Each structure stands twice: as structure tokens, then as C-alpha cells.
Amino acid sequence: MAPRSLRYGALVSRNACRPGVPQLAQAPLTFRQRSTASHESDQKAATASLSPRWLGEVKQRIGKCITFGLTPAQTARAGHILQEIARDWRELVAGSEGFLTTPDRRGMHRQAVVWGEMDSMGLRLSSFQKGHVNNVMYNRYAESGRIGWAQKLAMLDPANKKAWRELFAPTSAGLILRAITTEFKFPMKWPDNISVYHKLRAEPTAGTDSFILDVLIMSELHQRPAARCIEDIV
């Protein structure tokens, strides 16, 4: 797949719509076919120094620019940026951290959050929004995403497709989860949808007997991570 460049510098610039103000350099953000392992590069994600709400803040800044008036050229540019955000926000958020977001790689896409997954603590019938998704559910999301991720590998590796398919059969040892650490980012609520992405922390070798998977659980409604997990697999 040919890479598509995104004007990332313009997205995070506070002065992007102000006439006469120098613009930030527009470094291209490209779509990768391979996730970024930690040993491959010591560079942090392009969004590491930004607020977790940076994508929403960018849209708010553009909205203010439009509200206070733009030249025709600036209006066209703002519209183009908003189109890129609407189309590629998953790649901008998850892809900037090395997660592969394409259909042939992602483990779970737009899975619906159901009302029964919310915690009953503080939940009242008169107000569905008092509760939040039960913390246990995030580990289940990660598990389902991991299965989906491995099944996608079967399609990408035809020579070993049968072995990948049988990995989760009752007769197979499967991917045994030795430990999982979950970091909650905000209390996600119903209704929402989630997408789950996995990536190897380091590339396995011939002598590898365990490996670490980084997991990103994305809220589609808020367009930012709802939780992050670290899975220790044997």
C-alpha cells in the first residue's frame, strides 16, 4: 500500500490558521506495514509530548479559526485538515505509536460497548450515564483483540495458516497469558465502540520462550485511548 502523507505539523500548530505567523515544519506521517518494536528505535512517538486530548484540541482550534474568520485559502486548508483527521484519526493516534491500524492487522474494530458491561456501582435507572465500563471488561477486550490479531497473522502467513488457526483450538497450548497490566485512561461509558490494537514490544528470536505485547484500547466516541495493557505471553 502506498504511503499517504499527513500534514502533522499543521495539525498541532496553535498558529496554523493565523495569517503572518510562521508555520511548523510539516513532517509526513506514513502508514507502516510493520509495527515498531522498542529495540528498532529509541525515538518516542510523535505525539508523546502532547496532551492525551490533543486530537480534540486540534479540532477545537480549527473550529475557533473558522469562527473568527479565515481567508479563502485558509478555509480550504482547514477543511482539508479536518477531512484528514476524520479519515485517518486512528493512524494519527495509534499509528504514531507504532500500532498497525489497517484492516489486515487490527485485532478488533468498532466493537460495540453494551450497557451490561458497565459497572453497577453508582448506576441508577434514572441516569444511564452514572456508571462506567467495568474494569474487568478491558482485560476481556484485550484478550479478544489478541485472538483477532493472531487470526489476522494466519491470513498474512499462508504457509503456516493451519498452525495459526489451531493455535487457539482445545488441543493446542495456545498463547498463555502469564500476566497482564492494565492502565485505565478515563471512565468509558455506554454507548461507545472500541478498537483494539496489539504490537510486539521486541522482535522474537529463535530462542524466545516468551514475549511482551503492548495493547491499545481505543474509544471510538472520544477518539483517544481508554486503556493500555501490557501482556506477558508464554
| Higher-pLDDT residue of 127, 98 | 98
pLDDT for 8 beyond 50 = no
The SS3 of residue 225 is strand
User: Highest mean pLDDT: which of 71-75, 129-133, 168-172?
Assistant: 71-75
| Higher-pLDDT residue of 111, 53 | 111
pLDDT for 204 beyond 70 = yes
pLDDT for 103 beyond 90 = yes
pTM of the model: 0.79
Mapping DSSP onto H, E and C, the string for 94-158 reads CHHHCCCCCCCCCCEEEEEECHHHECCCCCECCEHHHCCECHHHHHHHHHHHHHHHHHHHHHHCH
pLDDT for 23 beyond 50 = no
Domain ranges of the chain: 51-96, 98-122+130-233
Q: Is 33 left (phi over 0), alpha (psi -120 to 50) or beta?
A: alpha
Fold of the domain spanning 98-122+130-233: Thiol Ester Dehydrase; Chain A (3.10.129)
